[in-house]
Structure 1
Amino acid sequence: MSQANCDAVAHLIFDVESIADGELIAAVRYSGEKLSADEAIERYQAERLEQTGSTFIPHTFMVPISVVIAKVTADFRLLDIKSLDEPHFRPHVMTKHFWQGWEAYQMPQWVTFNGRSFDIPLMELAAFRFGLSIPKWFDDSGYKSRRNRFSTGSHLDLQELLTNFSAARFNGGLNLAAQSLGKPGKMGLSGDQVQSYYDRGDLKAISDYCRCDVLDTYFVFLRSMVLTGRASLSQETELVDQAKAWIVEQAESCQACADYMDHWSEWTNPWQLDEDETLASATHPVDQADPQPQDAASNESPQ
C-alpha cells in the first residue's frame, strides 16, 4: 500500500467553540425592548444561570468562533490538527471550510464528544445561516442517511457510545473521560467562559482551549477503539506514544501543545507481564475472521 493510501484521512475528530448572536437574541427574545446586542446576551445569560445553573446559551442562538479538527487515518494514527481560519476566526469562513473539507477528504467519519447534541447541529445551523449547500450531508437515503441518529459510520459521538445513546448519564463529560486515561482534561478555561474571552478579544485562547479538547477527544477515541475491539491495548499504547511525540514536536511552536504536555500524565496500566495470560488476552480484540470453536455437543446428531 502506498504512503498516500496509508495516510488517507478516515476520521475527522473535531470540537467547536461558539459565541452568542446578541442581535438575534434581542430580536427573538426581547422584541420591542430595544436592547443592544451586549445587553441581550447579558440578560439571557442571567436567565440561563437562574434556570440551569449555567450561563451557557442554546446553540440556536450561537455561531462558531473556533473550529479545530484532527485528521486521523484508518489505523487511528494522528496526522495533523488544524484550527480553521486562524487567526481571523470568521464564522462564515470556518463553516465553509468545515463542510468543504469533509467533502474534500471523501466524507470521513466525524468523531466528537457530545457532538450529536451540540457541535454538529451548530455547524448545520451555521450552514443554514450563511447560505451554504451541503447536499452530501443531507442525503435522502432513509435509515442509511448520514444524519441518522444511529449512523455511527458517519458520525461517532463518543458520549453516545459510552452511554448507549444516552440510556445512562456520563457525569463528568470529556474532562472525566480524558483524566481517567491520564490526559489533561480541562486546564482552566471552560465552555461557559468562551463568551467572556471573546468579549475581551482573546480569540487565540479560545482556539487553544478548543485544540486541547480535540487532543483529549482523540485519546478517548483511541480507548474507545480498544473497548469496541477495533484495536488492541498494545496498539493503543503505541499510538499514544506516537501522538505524544507529535505533540512534543508541535509544542516548540504551539503554546496549546506546550500547555497540554505540561499537564500530561501517564495512564496506569494494571496488566502485568507475569499475570495470567488468559486475563491479559482480554485486552486484545477477537479476530472476527477466525473460526469460532464449536461446542462438542453441537456436533452430535439430535436424539
Structure 2
Amino acid sequence: MIPHLVFDLETIPDADGLRRLHDAQGLDDAAVVEQALAARREAVGHDFMPLHLHRIVAIGCVFRDDRGFQVRCLGEPGDSEAALISAFFKTIERYTPRLISWNGSGFDLPVLHYRSLIHGIAAPRYWDMGEDDRDFRYNNYISRYHTRHVDLMDVLAKYNGRANAPLDELAKLCGFPGKLGVDGSQVWPMWQQGAIDDIRAYCETDVANTWLVYTRFRLLRGEIDQTGYEQELAVVKEALAALPGSHWQEYLAAWAESVR
C-alpha cells in the first residue's frame, strides 16, 4: 500500500491578523473577533470568515501504510500555527503520501496555502508540478483532477458543488460513527474556554470518519474486495481500541451502535 495521509484542520478567527488589518490595537482577542464576526454577518449574512483569516489550531491526521494505521493530531497542544503547518508539510516531504480529505480543495488546502504564505513555510514537494519530479507533471497535489490529493467530497459530487454532502451524514449512512456532538462552529467557543484537548479529540475523530468513508470508496472502485474492506475495518477498530482517550471509547461505542 502506498502511504495515505488523511487530514483535517480546525481553525479559529485570526485575531492578530484582524487586529493588523483593522487597526484594532488595544482590544483583546475576543473583542477583536466578535467585532469582525458582527461585521461579517452585517456584510454577507453569515459569520464564516474569509479563508486567509482562519488560524489553524489543530491538524488531525490518519497515516496508513503497510506498517499499520495511525491517527493523531500533529504536534502538541501548545504548538504555534507555524509549527503545525511545518509538521504537515514535512510529512509530505518525507513520505509523498496520497492526501485524502473531505472538502480539502474547498477549505483545508487553501487555508494551508494562505497560512504557509503568511509564515513563509516552504513545501517544495507539495508544490512540485513536474519541475523537480517528472511524474508530478501528470499527477500532483495541486491539480483538481489528479489523484495525489483526493478530495472525497468533490469526487463523489462529480465536482459539482450543488451535489456536495456533509461528512457527518455520509459517515452515519454508511454505518460509521460520524461526529460525536461537536462541529466546526463550536471550535472558537471551545478555544476561548481553553478546551484545546477537546478540539484535538474532535479533529481526530473527523479524520477517522474520513478514512472509513474512503475505505468504502476504495471498495466501490474495486481497489479492494469485500474481504479486504472488512479486514481494513478490523484494523481500524483494533488500532482505535488500543489508543488512550475517552473520545475513542465513545467513538467505538457509537460505531457498535450504528451497525445494530
Q: Same fold (TM over 0.5)?
A: yes
Residues 48, 151 of structure 1: CA spacing in aligned structure 2 closer, same or farther, 3 A cutoff?
Answer: same
Cα deviation, residue 163, structure 1: 0.4
Residues 248, 27 of structure 1: CA spacing in aligned structure 2 closer, same or farther, 3 A cutoff?
Answer: same
1:147 is aligned to 2:137: no
Does the residue aligned with 2:123 lie in a helix, a strand or coil? coil
Whole-Å separation in 2 of the counterparts to 1:103 and 1:239: 26
Which of 188, 192, 200 aligns to 1:195? It is: 188
Which of 45, 51, 66 aligns to 1:59? It is: 51
Please tell me the residue identity of whatever aligns with 1:246: A
Which of these two proteins has the greater Rg computed from alpha carbons? 1
Which of 100, 118, 127 aligns to 2:90? It is: 100
RMSD, matched Cα: 2.5
Residues 125, 167 of structure 1: CA spacing in aligned structure 2 closer, same or farther, 3 A cutoff?
Answer: closer
1:17 is aligned to 2:10: yes
Please tell me the residue identity of whatever aligns with 2:4: H
Please tell me the residue identity of whatever aligns with 1:155: H
Partner of 1:87: 77
Does the residue aligned with 1:136 lie in a helix, a strand or coil? helix
Residues 248, 32 of structure 1: CA spacing in aligned structure 2 closer, same or farther, 3 A cutoff?
Answer: closer
Q: Equivalent pairs: percent with the same residue?
A: 25
Q: TM-score of the superposition, structure 2-length normalised?
A: 0.88
Q: How does 1:156-175 map to 2 (within 5 A)?
A: 156-166=150-160, 168-171=162-165, 173-175=166-168
1:110 is aligned to 2:99: yes
Cα deviation, residue 51, structure 1: 6.1
Partner of 1:127: 116
Please tell me the residue identity of whatever aligns with 2:173: S
Cα deviation, residue 177, structure 1: 1.2
Partner of 1:43: 35
1 or 2, which has the higher helix percentage? 2
| Larger relative contact order, structure 1 or 2 (CA cutoff 8 Å, min sep 6) | 2
Please tell me the residue identity of whatever aligns with 1:151: H
Which of 234, 240, 245 aligns to 1:254? It is: 245
CA contact (8 A) 1:68 1:84 kept: yes
Whole-Å separation in 1 of the counterparts to 2:61 and 2:161: 28
Cα deviation, residue 140, structure 1: 4.0
List alignment gaps of at least 5 residues for structure 1: 1-5, 270-303
Cα deviation, residue 181, structure 1: 1.5
Please tell me the residue identity of whatever aligns with 2:8: D
Residues 78, 256 of structure 1: CA spacing in aligned structure 2 closer, same or farther, 3 A cutoff?
Answer: farther
Residues 167, 93 of structure 1: CA spacing in aligned structure 2 closer, same or farther, 3 A cutoff?
Answer: closer
Residues 201, 112 of structure 1: CA spacing in aligned structure 2 closer, same or farther, 3 A cutoff?
Answer: same
Cα deviation, residue 43, structure 1: 2.2
Partner of 1:186: 179
CA contact (8 A) 2:69 2:235 kept: no
Partner of 1:301: none
Whole-Å separation in 2 of the counterparts to 1:220 and 1:48: 34
Please tell me the residue identity of whatever aligns with 2:33: I
Q: TM-score of the superposition, structure 1-length normalised?
A: 0.76
Whole-Å separation in 2 of the counterparts to 1:139 and 1:229: 29
Whole-Å separation in 1 of the counterparts to 2:77 and 2:115: 19
Whole-Å separation in 1 of the counterparts to 2:20 and 2:75: 29
